[in-house]
Amino acid sequence: MKTTEELLYQIRGLARIVVAFSFFYQGLVPKWLTHDPAEQAMLMAHGVWTAYPSWISHIGGLFEMALACWLVATFTDKKPLWVAGGALVFFLLDTMIFSPSYLGTTFNVVTTNLALLALVLIDQHILKFQADEINQRRFGQYFRFTRDRMLYEFVKRLELKDLPHLMHTLTQSRIKRRRKVRQKLKESLQPAENPLKDRSQIDRRSSSDRRRIFPLPQSKRTTNQPPDDSENPAP
pLDDT tens figures, 113-141: 999 999 999 999 999 998 888 877 777 77
How confident is the model at residue 11, as a pLDDT?
94
Query: In sequence order, what are the residues at sequence separation of 6 or more whose Cβ sits closer than 8 angstroms to the Cβ of residue 45?
Result: 98, 99
Residue 219 covered by a domain: no
Least confident of 58-62, 187-191, 211-215: 211-215
Residue 208 covered by a domain: no
Ranked by mean pLDDT, which of 19-23, 109-113, 210-214 comes out on top?
19-23
Q: How many helices (H) and strands (E) does the chain have?
A: 8, 0
Computed over every residue of the chain, the mean pLDDT equals 79
- Across the range 88-102, mean pLDDT stands at 91
- Res. 159 pLDDT band, cuts 50 70 90: low
Overall domain count for the chain: 1
Residue 53 covered by a domain: yes
How confident is the model at residue 87, as a pLDDT?
96
Residue 26 covered by a domain: yes
- Res. 231 pLDDT band, cuts 50 70 90: very low
Least confident of 63-67, 156-160, 183-187: 156-160
Residue 72 covered by a domain: yes
How confident is the model at residue 191, as a pLDDT?
64
Residue 80 covered by a domain: yes
Residue 103 covered by a domain: yes
Least confident of 19-28, 37-46, 156-165: 156-165
Instruction: Collapse the DSSP code of 210 into the 3-class scheme (helix H, G, I; strand E, B; otherwise coil) and give the result.
Output: helix
Burial 183-203, CB ≥16 within 10 A → b, else e = eeeeeeeeeeeeeeeeeeeee
Domain of residue 29 covers: 4-137
Least confident of 16-20, 40-44, 208-212: 208-212
For residue 213, pLDDT beyond 70: no
Residue 148 covered by a domain: no
Length of the chain: 235
Residue 120 class from Cβ within 10 Å (0-12 exposed, 13-18 middle, 19+ buried)? buried
How confident is the model at residue 176, as a pLDDT?
85
